[in-house]
């Protein structure tokens, strides 16, 4: 061997035995590493000593620097010692460990990919490691590195997953979990040979590998104990990216804590986390099922939600007296059919302070058993949504809408001596129309303009026509309305014909007989979209609790906000009055008597009657707030404008709207005790899940409106290639 050279043999393995092999650095410009039975560096693993010892020896006999590794399987050093290949080996490349000299002249192992500045290791491409003969380098004990060692998967026992004879487990499940975790951590698969209440035996799944473990329950001892274990592996571990032991339950256990902290943790993020932590690639379905299993343990299963509905309704009435909460099942099989909930705080606020205006809407549930969530929502004095009642039904049908509106009628009839004449907005599908006519025969039932305009847009797909439709809906007078319809007709006669088929008294402000106070839409789901879509996928009780918590938060926030207001009217009404005052300054007012006025402006002449609170422009009647003409008339006779607004727009009434508290419902773990103390027989009613199940595949994100069901899809035409089925913007035909 040449002087100052470090040669690796053909076996390319660094075998370090059990017998405390040591590294010696000589005094005479010499570095010597002898691998023998007496002077050796021990990096192996024994049952008695788990620590790695490194020592520096003084060598006065050699005058050469060299590390001699023979080419044979059992190389001999200059002292005649041999190293056995069957002894434990340490694969340094697998763990990215680098060797360095510490301050105390001991050989240390560093975890980084870079060595210390005073150590360089040179590894040639032909697997020879040379130590260049340089006096400066020898004196400074430098080793130079130029080529990294290739990574490999090593079966090195991890102390956290170490198995040993005598190790105890509480039961066979705990034993199996420990073996599963060890197999995943050490990258090998196990195969169960025998498993029962008293014995468990498993072996390595690789053919011919001797690894095997046996655990058993000793007589008179409640724990499982590992009796025998063969720790030797000859298989080299698994070579694929999956793992047989990475079951759905293992995924659930791995991400349980993360999901409890963040329920919005996505399956895709679960896959990335498991791959990063364990090097395992799973399917999306496994991650999704693992998340569902954890969430079922946290929030309860879908089946349990239906079973506990009677108790939940009882808890609502206990914590929020005078609230309405009732559940109905099929008399034949007790399967869920309907749920109706209306909280006392909502009932009080709507009856005593809100406008007599209701919007009806629904959204399809995305839970395991589907269903539909029905809404009845009012509007507070500042224009915000004020949910009044909720209904959950197994499916949307005419009968279920009739039932929901009947419950709503009973609610209002009980809580008001003279039930107000309501104005109701909806998409006017047949079930809603029949239900309103049967339960609210005197109500004004009009179209929600959001539903109407969406249907119009899908039919004609022309933004200009849609804008003209909205302008026609907002027009206060018949003359203005007809002018807009004529503009539509000039652009498209088909569009004008489509509009004229719908009676204007059902949607146009100029013809509508009820009081909408400027609300042309009741798109409840779109307004509540930020949280209602999330709730729609939860078990039924969790969904209702999500709704209740949102309502409770709204009531508290709006109550506290209104306490800071110092004006007479709510902010939106104050802004409207301020705008009217600004315009009224330029109007000329002529007084006919104590109540009637003629107001002249650049727009024309209008007649105002302050006694009947009406103006010829119809703005005062339709919005409940004096228009600019009325404001000019009131100012001319020194009247307070705020006194002539509807009471629902005052801050005092707004505070009354949210004056009641919506109380929390206790956790379900306390329901049984409360039911036993109250001895409520209704809580013992059995409710089974409905028969409808969610179909496979990704659920639809955008709900299908009633008026679009069964409608023939319009064929689109490309103006670039004159073909059908696509638009110009998506045309891929060659030019």
Rounded to 10°, the helix 628-636/571-584 angle is: 70
Neighbouring CB atoms inside 10 A of 66's CB total: 20
Residues facing residue 391 across a β-bridge: 340, 374
Provide DSSP, 681-696: GGGG---BPPS--PPS
Are 175 and 199 spatial neighbours (Cβ–Cβ below 8 Å)? no
CA 342, distance to chain mean position in Å, is: 27
Query: C-alpha distances in angstroms, 493 versus 465, 496, 543, 654?
Result: 11, 5, 47, 46
d(CA 423, CA 408): 14
Name the token pair of 381: 């004095």
Q: Which residues 6+ apart lie within 8 Å of 33 measured at CB? A: 23, 24, 41, 67
448 backbone dihedrals φ, ψ, rounded to 5°: -80, 120
Q: Is the dihedral of CA 284, 286, 290, 295 positive or negative?
A: positive
3-class SS letters over 155-186: CCCCHHHCCCCCCEECCHHHHHHHHHHHHHHH
Helix (H, G, I), strand (E, B) or coil at 68: strand
Are 91 and 154 spatial neighbours (Cβ–Cβ below 8 Å)? yes
Class of residue 82 by CB neighbours under 10 A (exposed 0-12, middle 13-18, buried 19+): middle
561: part of which helix (H) or strand (E)? Answer: helix 540-562
Provide DSSP, 368-380: TT--EEEEEEEE-
If the chain, 735 residues long, is cut into consecutive pieces of 10 residues, what is the mean pLDDT of each piece?
38 38 38 38 37 36 37 39 39 38 40 38 35 39 36 41 82 85 86 86 89 87 86 81 86 86 85 86 88 81 90 94 93 92 95 90 87 91 91 92 95 79 89 93 90 89 91 91 93 92 91 85 69 81 91 94 94 92 90 90 89 89 90 91 90 94 89 58 73 66 47 69 76 72
Are 396 and 372 spatial neighbours (Cβ–Cβ below 8 Å)? yes
Are 189 and 244 spatial neighbours (Cβ–Cβ below 8 Å)? yes
311: part of which helix (H) or strand (E)? Answer: helix 309-319
Q: Is the dihedral of CA 111, 112, 115, 121 positive or negative?
A: positive
**DSSP designation for 578:** H
Name the token pair of 335: 């399967």
Are 472 and 483 spatial neighbours (Cβ–Cβ below 8 Å)? no
Are 354 and 493 spatial neighbours (Cβ–Cβ below 8 Å)? no
CB contact burial 274-301 (16+ within 10 A = b; e otherwise): beeebebebeeebbbbbbbbbbeeebbb
Length of the chain: 735
Q: Tokens 């329920």 identify what position?
A: 263
Neighbouring CB atoms inside 10 A of 575's CB total: 11
Q: If we measure between CA atoms, which residue out of 168, 167, 165, 122 comes closest to residue 147?
A: 122
CA-based diameter of the chain, in Å? 131
Name the token pair of 693: 């199940």
The pLDDT of residue 391 is 95
The pLDDT of residue 40 is 38
**pTM score over 0.85:** no
Provide DSSP, 426-468: E---HHHHHHHHHH-TTSEEEE-HHHHHHHHHHHH--HHHHHH
Class of residue 376 by CB neighbours under 10 A (exposed 0-12, middle 13-18, buried 19+): buried
Alpha carbon dihedral 220, 223, 228, 232, in 10-degree steps, equals: 180
Residues facing residue 486 across a β-bridge: none
Are 66 and 25 spatial neighbours (Cβ–Cβ below 8 Å)? no
The pLDDT of residue 725 is 74
The pLDDT of residue 166 is 85
d(CA 24, CA 42): 13
Q: Tokens 């066979």 identify what position?
A: 172
Q: In this structure, are strands 107-110 and 224-230 parallel, antiparallel, or unpaired?
A: unpaired
Q: Which residues 6+ apart lie within 8 Å of 138 measured at CB? A: 4, 29, 30, 31, 65
Q: Which residues 6+ apart lie within 8 Å of 421 measured at CB? A: 356, 442, 443, 444
């Amino acid at each position: 061997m040449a002087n100052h050279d470090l040669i690796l043999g053909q076996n390319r393995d660094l075998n370090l035995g059990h017998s405390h092999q040591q590294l010696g650095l000589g005094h005479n410009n010499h570095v010597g590493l002898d691998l023998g039975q007496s002077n050796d560096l021990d990096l192996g693993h024994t049952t008695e000593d788990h620590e790695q010892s490194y020592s520096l020896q003084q060598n006065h006999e050699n005058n050469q620097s060299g590390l001699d590794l023979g080419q044979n399987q059992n190389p001999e050093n200059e002292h005649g010692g041999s190293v056995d290949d069957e002894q434990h080996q340490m694969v340094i490349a697998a763990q990215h460990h680098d060797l360095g000299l510490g301050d105390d002249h001991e050989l240390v192992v560093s975890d980084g990919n870079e060595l210390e500045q005073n150590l360089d290791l040179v590894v040639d491409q032909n697997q020879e490691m040379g130590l260049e003969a340089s006096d400066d380098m020898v004196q400074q004990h430098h080793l130079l590195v130029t080529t990294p060692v290739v990574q490999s998967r090593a079966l090195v026992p991890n102390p956290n997953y170490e198995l040993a004879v005598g190790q105890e487990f509480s039961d066979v499940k705990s034993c199996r979990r420990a073996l599963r975790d060890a197999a995943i951590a050490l990258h090998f698969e196990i195969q169960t040979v025998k498993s029962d209440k008293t014995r468990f035996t498993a072996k390595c799944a690789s053919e011919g590998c001797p690894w095997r473990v046996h655990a058993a329950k000793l007589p008179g001892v409640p724990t499982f104990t590992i009796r025998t274990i063969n720790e030797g592996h000859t298989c080299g571990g698994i070579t694929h990216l999956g793992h047989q032991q990475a079951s759905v339950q293992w995924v659930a256990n791995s991400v349980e804590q993360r999901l409890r902290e963040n329920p919005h943790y996505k399956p895709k993020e679960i896959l990335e986390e498991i791959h990063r932590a364990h090097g395992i690639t799973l399917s999306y379905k496994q991650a999704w099922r693992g998340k569902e299993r954890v969430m079922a343990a946290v929030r309860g299963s879908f089946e349990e939600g239906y079973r506990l509905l009677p108790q939940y309704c009882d808890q609502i009435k206990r914590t929020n007296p005078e609230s309405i909460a009732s559940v109905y099942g099929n008399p034949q099989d007790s399967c869920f059919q309907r749920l109706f909930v209306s909280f006392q705080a909502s009932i009080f606020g709507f009856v005593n302070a809100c406008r007599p205006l209701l919007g009806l809407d629904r959204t399809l549930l995305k839970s395991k058993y589907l269903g539909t969530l029905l809404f009845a929502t009012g509007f507070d004095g500042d224009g915000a949504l004020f949910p009044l009642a909720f209904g959950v039904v197994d499916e949307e049908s005419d009968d279920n809408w009739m039932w929901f509106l009947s419950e709503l009628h009973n609610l209002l009839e009980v809580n008001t001596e003279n039930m107000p004449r309501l104005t109701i907005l909806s998409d006017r599908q047949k079930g809603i129309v029949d239900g309103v006519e049967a339960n609210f025969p005197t109500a004004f039932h009009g179209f929600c303009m959001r539903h109407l305009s969406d249907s119009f847009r899908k039919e004609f797909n022309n933004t200009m026509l849609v804008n003209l439709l909205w302008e026609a809906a907002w027009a206060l007078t018949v003359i203005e309305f007809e002018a807009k319809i004529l503009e539509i007709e000039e652009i498209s006669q088909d569009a004008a014909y489509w509009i004229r088929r719908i009676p204007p008294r059902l949607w146009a402000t100029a013809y509508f007989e009820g009081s909408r106070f400027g609300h042309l839409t009741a798109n409840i789901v779109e307004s509540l979209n930020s949280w209602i879509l999330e709730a729609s996928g939860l078990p039924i009780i969790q969904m209702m609790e999500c709704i209740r918590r949102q309502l409770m938060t709204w009531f508290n926030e709006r109550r506290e906000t209104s306490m800071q207001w110092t004006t007479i009217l709510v902010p939106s009404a104050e802004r409207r009055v301020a705008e009217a005052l600004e315009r009224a300054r330029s109007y000329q007012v002529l007084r006919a008597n104590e109540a009637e006025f003629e107001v002249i402006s650049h727009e024309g002449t209008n007649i105002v009657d302050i006694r009947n609170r009406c103006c010829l422009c119809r703005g005062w009647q339709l919005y409940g707030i004096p228009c600019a003409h009325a404001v000019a008339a009131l100012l001319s006779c020194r009247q307070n404008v705020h006194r002539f607004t509807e009471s629902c727009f005052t801050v005092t009434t707004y505070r009354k709207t949210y004056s009641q508290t919506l109380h929390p419902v206790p956790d379900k773990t306390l329901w049984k005790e409360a039911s036993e103390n109250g001895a409520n027989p209704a809580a013992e009613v059995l409710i089974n899940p409905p028969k409808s199940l969610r179909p496979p595949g990704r659920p639809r994100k955008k709900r299908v409106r009633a008026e679009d069901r069964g409608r023939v899809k319009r064929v689109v035409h490309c103006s670039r290639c004159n073909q059908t089925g696509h638009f110009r913007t998506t045309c891929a035909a060659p030019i």
